[in-house]
Amino acid sequence: MSFVVTLISSPANPAVDDALIEKLAALVPGETRHEWLNPGIAADIFTTQALSVSEATDTLRSALGETPVDLFVQPATNRRKRLLIADMDSTMIGQECIDELAAELGLKDTIAAITERAMRGEIEFEPALQERVALLKGLDSSVVDKVIAERITLTPGGRTLVQTMKANLGYAALVSGGFTVFTSKIAEKIGFDENRANTLLEEAGKLTGTVQMPILGKQAKLDRLNELLSEKKIEPDDVIAVGDGANDLAMLERAGIGAAFYAKPAVAAQADMRIDHSDLTALLYIQGYKAEEFVTD
């Protein structure tokens, strides 16, 4: 079986050059060859010799040192996936929506501290969500549009990732522990085929401080992935998943490739791939897409 090592840097900080490729290729067993996916930004190193993915990853990461390059080692077959399942907060967007809602009440630091602990897996997600939502009681529900317009930014590469996979017969699902008032709009902006999240309850135009039960958390994300496997008649190896928090771990572990995106340490340590330097187009490069194949409309 042949294997491929993909090297990826940020488009804003190209760091993959011939010298780096030569240095790392020398550490890959067997006869190697390389192929540019995007000169200066991403490249593949192929070998026909079988290798241990975990050992090769450790060796190559050690050799990278402080070089701002992400890498992923995998078999060279079945690289292109048919399903993308993604988290939203701090993954497809740069913020945590509940923290930005809290900012409207002057409670961002208080709620963000709880969010951070939940994403690190230090406290259970479901009760942490209920605790945070309770603090939003009385907030005018119309503030969501203001928050989206003024505080929410799409993560670079996200729309290109979704549109490119869809153009190649892929399906894209957004599954969030956040709220439908955000996912419905963000999914439309990026081009997801579906979105799932929690529902904030409101009364007379004000948030009640409660969320509709059951809460969509770690298990619900995994459940939706399993449902999609059945609906699409595909295998876990046909799936690429991406997220940053502890409530994403189950779906990351179930997917053929689970990518931790600028993730909390415990999540990055357990995921198949960790993205610490590049943007979301990294998930296209590891599938073997070249830059000229990207859909960027």
Catalytic residues, which ones?
Answer: 87, 89
Q: Where are the strands (E) in the chain, listed by range?
A: 3-9, 32-38, 42-47, 69-75, 83-86, 171-179, 194-198, 200-203, 206-211, 239-243, 257-261, 273-275
CB atoms within 10 A of CB 253: 14
Q: How many residues are listed for the chain in this entry?
A: 297
* Cβ proximity of 67 and 20 under 8 Å: yes
Find how far residue 202's CA is from the centre of its chain: 30
Q: Quote the CA–CA distance of 25 and 34 in Å, as a whole number.
A: 8
β-pair type (83-86, 206-211): unpaired
β-pair type (273-275, 257-261): parallel
Q: Quote the CA–CA distance of 36 and 134 in Å, as a whole number.
A: 51
CB atoms within 10 A of CB 138: 10
* Cβ proximity of 245 and 117 under 8 Å: no
